[in-house]
Amino acid sequence: MTSFRLEKGGLIDRAASLSFSFDGKGFTGHPGDTLASALIANGVHLMGRSFKYHRPRGVISAGSSEPNALVELREGARQEANTRATMIELYEGLVAKSQNRWPSLAFDVGAINSLAASMFVAGFYYKTFMWPKSFWEKIYEPLIRRAAGLGSAAKEADPDKYEKAYAHGDLLVIGSGPAGLMAALTAARLGARVILADEGTRLGGSLLFENEEIDGKSGLDWANSAIAELASMPNVTLMPRTTVFGWYDGNIFGAVERVNDHVLAPSPYEPRQRYWRVIAKRAVLAVGAEERPIVFGGNDVPGVMLASAMRAYANRYAAAAGKAAVVFTNNDSGYRTARDMRTHGVRVEVIVDSRADSRVEAGGVPVIRGRKIVDVKGGKGVAGIELDDHMHIGCDTVAMSGGWSPIVNLACHRGARPKWDATIAGFVPPDTGESFVAAGSAAGRMLLSECLADGAAKGGGKPSDAPKCRDETYAIKALWWVKESKTKAFVDYQNDVSVKDLPLAAREGYSDIELVKRYTTTGMATDQGKLGNVNAIAILAEATGKTIEQVGTTTFRPYYTPVAFGAFAGPFVGRHFQPTRKTPLSDWAEEQGAVFVETGLWMRSSWFPRADEDWLASATREVLATRSGVGICDVSTLGKIDVQGKDAGAFLDKLYCNTFSTLPVGKARYGLMLREDGIVFDDGTTSRLADDHFLMTTTTANAARVMSHMEFCHQALWPDLDVQYVSVTEQWGQMAVAGPRSRATLQKIVDGVTLNDETVPYMAAKELTILGGIPARLFRISFSGEHAYELAVPADYANMAARALMQAGEEFGIVPYGVEALSIMRIEKGHVAGGELNGTTTAADLGLGKMMSTKKDYIGRMMAMREGLTDANRQCVVGIRPFHRSDRLRSGSHFLKRGDAPSIANDQGYITSVAFSPMLGQWVGLALLANGRARIGEMVKIFDGLRGIHQYGVICEPMHFDRENARLHA
């Protein structure tokens, strides 16, 4: 194979060699190469197949706008589809495969689509595969996806780490070409905190590949000294390999740093990529301009590329695009390519300048003026070109320049539209205010001296701060497409949108640019029309008889370039998807063999199996042991809120539907809190520890919501109340000690108190010490229906206290019980919980209507009196038991009247909670039933549509067990 590596020059390390493979074939390149430049240096231009027609495609650009050279990079779990060969830094051992071809890149069966091209015109998705409808999902779509898909993703989990981070600065400069470097230097010298980000491997932007002269040195030398100065300043952060992809409210920018994309595998300690949020007081958009292709026949043959790309490959990477080049341009900058290539010893056959009257220094290269290329000859490589006067010229590569489009994307991310500038024939950024300004060619300034001066000014200095430089001329006369071309001419390479598709869309009624985008897919996919959009707009303008300004652009949205999902997820994957919250008793529970269950973020002990018990056997045993002896359960997750201040009682009276200001010190009371709309919000016991000190508890699920509710109510509704509150949930490890032997067990660990109905009566809240001095709170409250307590100790002592209780209760057969047993016991007792407090029920629905005070105002009082909320026919809580004692009940099953068929109209209610009652030896449940309290004893049909179960049940009182509450006071 002939080498296309130039003998000298380039920012590559020729002393070192890197081996890589493309489509299974081995090649070598040098550090400093991209995959694209290394392939070009090896004479490989064919890098992919196009989306619809499977046409052979080569590299078009030398940067992030690349639409064609998309490859599958790496193998196995690290395989990454649609990776731009122009952005992949070469590393030792790199493996890449071309995409969208079968069986091989050189011979692709799918290319037959070209012969059926008329079937694939604009809107083909909507036209060709419409009938019959049922074919779409099963046949057409899978077929199209297989034929048209670009690359395939890895199936395994991503083995690499990703991070997130924040950065702050006075000035963020995006882009490190002449304008960006000048802006950063100027601001940094004035003492500002500067962040300079650039998507490139190394900083310097266009100065890395253009022949410029600044301050008496080469552009590259000037850039290097500017970068060295910036690097030496403590107020400057340089961020190469960092793409700023979006601009958001608050002048916050999103960026992704490719920390380790340039190595085979990252160090285990480092991330592959880092997702940045950059918070900048001011920002300068100095991202430069993108060269546009010209739309002419065969403009997609591998070997046809942007003029700037061709000279970038030669100047920066020492890779020649061919042996004999033709330049096709409508502006002055194309001449630079001709001169540079000639300097590198590449023959340049001719410059074809579409302008009849241009006068630009061509460096000895012949110029044909006022002519256009109508066709490129060749299939997998360029063989020659044909001009509109039928002249044929032999060549193996074509450089094209359709002018320059300022890269306005970021400036438009918050909704502003770019403005058309006829002088440069391009859209320029909108005015987005002082905090984000464009500089240099991103602002439409096409001369180097203008870029430097603009950079200095936008960096906070004077334009005259910029160094002297040599300017190239720049002028353009727009040429969007070559109408004389008969062969396929592409506007959007990535989506295979040809010049004919756009007028067709307009003829079929899709003439708005946003509709044209959707109908033709122009400007979609990974490159988002970076190269093709302006041409498409111009072609559509002519087809619809409008000006380019009138047609306008499509909406610019983040992300500027594709961002990996891994970068968004950051470190929050798998077990770390959300934080885990452990209770102070988790060590003790683990020792006891607990099986844990996620409850919100908490890990709660769910049951404590012995030997090979399943959850039901374990929970049943735990209930029986508790009800016959004693059991302890971790209830630390209940929300605990300290409420203090002169008006603490008044505050609680307004929050809860029942009254707390009358609660004596040392006592606890059950409370019910309504939402503003009268529906029940939360419940729990509140204790009074001192005149001005209450301790509220909330349900585990609502702890944070109740706290927010309190803050809102206090700050917005009753700011005059002297009340303070703070969550103390985590301060305490709390355990329920329940069962007929609970008092005897506790007696063995409390200090200096004899526990009886006088010292700790029902609903007492007492501060004491245990185990010889550990501070504790003892509440005589019960959720299980047993004689029970809750014991709270400061969290660091919780495991110790639980172990001591286990020892103390050994003689009574003490067991640990989990939330399953807890739930069984509360259902046996008919206590409502999450299933019933489900955001649809009123206090009356829950059988707690009497708690609603008539002597005071409180949140939810007025709305709870609404007709619909007091309707006698509302669904309210009842008990349910299966008619056949051995039947199992299922939560979520619906009730029907005995003779009715299942329908929404016939629905009578549903089961909210079920449990196998160890005490009754059968399944029991709680349910919501229309006018339920009047229907105790009624037989109903139970329908479970999911499982296809029809059975009968009997409505009963919610309290299934110990209706006299004898055990509570035993």
SS3 letters across 281-302: EEEEECCCEEECCCECECCCCC
**Cα–Cα distances in angstroms (integers) from residue 949 to residues 381, 888, 890, 898, 923, in the given order:** 69, 10, 9, 14, 15
The angle that helices 178-189 and 219-231 make with each other, rounded to 10 degrees, is 30
CB of 188 to other proteins, least distance (A): 15
d(CA 147, CA 490): 20
d(CA 340, CA 472): 13
The smaller minimum CB distance to other proteins, of residues 188 and 479, is found at 188
Q: Is 775 in the site for other proteins (CB under 8 A)?
A: yes
d(CA 813, CA 807): 10
The smaller minimum CB distance to other proteins, of residues 264 and 865, is found at 264
CB atoms within 10 A of CB 577: 9
The smaller minimum CB distance to other proteins, of residues 277 and 500, is found at 277
What is the side-by-side order of every strand in the sheet holding 367-369?
A: 304-306, 397-401, 324-329, 347-353, 367-369
Among 564, 616, 800, 936, the residue binding other proteins under the rule CB under 8 A is: 800
**Residue 206: CB partners within 8 Å, gap ≥ 6?**
177, 178, 212, 288
d(CA 836, CA 849): 14
- By CB under 8 A, which span of 8-16, 714-722, 817-825, 934-942 interacts with other proteins? 714-722
Interaction with other proteins in 203-242: which residues (CB under 8 A)?
Answer: none
d(CA 163, CA 141): 36
Among 369, 392, 470, 646, the residue binding other proteins under the rule CB under 8 A is: 646
CB of 605 to other proteins, least distance (A): 14
Cis ω on the peptide bond leading into residue 510 (within 30° of 0)? no
Among 728, 744, 920, 930, the residue binding other proteins under the rule CB under 8 A is: 728
Cis ω on the peptide bond leading into residue 429 (within 30° of 0)? no
Q: Are 474 and 425 in contact (CB under 8 A)?
A: no
Among 50, 83, 511, 583, the residue binding other proteins under the rule CB under 8 A is: 583
| Placement of tokens 């890395």 in the chain | 208
CB of 799 to other proteins, least distance (A): 7
- By CB under 8 A, which span of 5-13, 65-73, 134-142, 570-578 interacts with other proteins? 570-578
- By CB under 8 A, which span of 40-48, 480-488, 769-777, 855-863 interacts with other proteins? 769-777
Q: Is 504 in the site for other proteins (CB under 8 A)?
A: no
CB of 441 to other proteins, least distance (A): 32
CB of 236 to other proteins, least distance (A): 13
CB of 707 to other proteins, least distance (A): 12
Q: Which amino acid is at 765?
A: A
Among 34, 331, 742, 799, the residue binding other proteins under the rule CB under 8 A is: 799
Burial grade of 477 (CB within 10 A; 0-12, 13-18, 19 or more): middle
Give the total residue count for the chain.
Answer: 970
Q: Is 111 in the site for other proteins (CB under 8 A)?
A: no
Q: Is 617 in the site for other proteins (CB under 8 A)?
A: no
Site string for other proteins, 265-284 (x = CB under 8 A): --xxxxx-----x-x-----
Site size for other proteins (CB under 8 A): 55
CB of 484 to other proteins, least distance (A): 57
- By CB under 8 A, which span of 57-65, 290-298, 580-588, 666-674 interacts with other proteins? 580-588
d(CA 831, CA 788): 15
CB of 591 to other proteins, least distance (A): 13
Task: Provide the 3-class DSSP secondary structure of residue 761.
Answer: coil
Backbone angles phi, psi at 435, to 5 degrees: -80, -15
In 632-753, which ranges are continuous DSSP H helix? 648-655, 703-712, 742-747
Among 431, 730, 811, 871, the residue binding other proteins under the rule CB under 8 A is: 730
- By CB under 8 A, which span of 71-79, 206-214, 680-688, 715-723 interacts with other proteins? 715-723
Q: Is 691 in the site for other proteins (CB under 8 A)?
A: no
**Residue 201: CB partners within 8 Å, gap ≥ 6?**
89, 240, 241, 262
d(CA 248, CA 546): 32
The smaller minimum CB distance to other proteins, of residues 485 and 734, is found at 734
**Beta-ladder partners of 725:** 643
Site string for other proteins, 146-185 (x = CB under 8 A): ---------------x-xxxxxx-----------------
The smaller minimum CB distance to other proteins, of residues 420 and 602, is found at 602
Q: Which amino acid is at 544?
A: T
- By CB under 8 A, which span of 6-14, 444-452, 659-667, 795-803 interacts with other proteins? 795-803
CB of 578 to other proteins, least distance (A): 6
CB of 266 to other proteins, least distance (A): 10
Cis ω on the peptide bond leading into residue 103 (within 30° of 0)? yes
Among 22, 296, 427, 797, the residue binding other proteins under the rule CB under 8 A is: 797
Among 435, 578, 662, 840, the residue binding other proteins under the rule CB under 8 A is: 578
d(CA 522, CA 506): 13
The smaller minimum CB distance to other proteins, of residues 545 and 579, is found at 579
**Beta-ladder partners of 666:** none
| 311: nearest Cα among 301, 299, 323, 319 | 319
Q: Is 576 in the site for other proteins (CB under 8 A)?
A: yes
Q: Can you give the binding site for other proteins, defined by CB under 8 A?
A: 161, 163-168, 193, 267-271, 277, 279, 571-572, 576, 578-584, 601-602, 642, 644-646, 692-693, 720-724, 726, 728-732, 771-775, 794-797, 799-800
